[in-house]
Amino acid sequence: MNNVVLQLEQCLEQEVDLVQSFISVLEEEAQALTEAGDTDALGESTVAKNRYADQLALVADERQALLAQLGYPGDKPGLDAAALNHPQLRDLCKALLEKADTASQLNASNGIVINTFLAHNQQALDMVRGLVGASNLYDASGRKNSAQPGSGKKFKAG
């Protein structure tokens, strides 16, 4: 077997394992999103997702370089061509594409939930601002604004 094909096979195995680990983190994140108030788990999932995303980017770059050495284009067309010409890569290529699709769907679903939470929080904050008559309870960094409600308006009776 061609040494580059063997390297590609090993790279694909590593990538499939990493994507599966990434999926596990996404599933944990989805669970944390359904358990209101578990901000620690969400913070941990963000750190883990970023770590796996960095690792996946490195492995994907390696895969792209190996595909190029074999004369194939990058991404899915290259994987398809490599799998067609090297039967030992077929199951790995198929698994990678399926797992990548699963990860993408989970990540998009979690993103929708997170954006919904953010929108609800913004609406609640806007409502509180309206109730107390202050337009800036918190500054851009999330710190309490030192200006008191109504301090910018001076009324003179009489």
pLDDT single digits (tens) 74-119 = 889 999 999 999 999 999 999 999 999 999 999 999 988 888 877 7
Domain boundaries, given as residue ranges, for the chain: 3-110
Q: Which residues of 107-119 are buried (b: 16+ CB within 10 A; e: fewer)?
A: beebeeeeeeeee
| Residue type present at position 119 | A
3-110: CATH number:
1.20.58
Integer Rg of the chain from CA:
25
Residue-level pLDDT at 22: 97
pLDDT bracket for residue 155 (50, 70, 90): very low
- Report the alpha-carbon distance of residue 128 to residue 137 in Å, rounded: 9
pLDDT reading at 8 higher than 60: yes
Residue 100 has a pLDDT of 96
Residue 46 has a pLDDT of 87
* Total residues found in the chain within this entry: 158
Q: What is the pLDDT at residue 73?
A: 95
pLDDT tens per residue across span 38-69: 778 888 888 999 999 999 999 999 999 999 99
Is the predicted pLDDT of residue 121 greater than 70, yes or no? yes
The tens digit of pLDDT for each residue in 138-153 reads: 666 667 766 555 544 5
Q: Is the dihedral of CA 98, 68, 5, 17 positive or negative?
A: negative
* Lowest-pLDDT range of 2-6, 48-52, 94-98, 128-132: 128-132
Would the pLDDT of 136 be above 70? Answer: no
Amino acid at 56: L
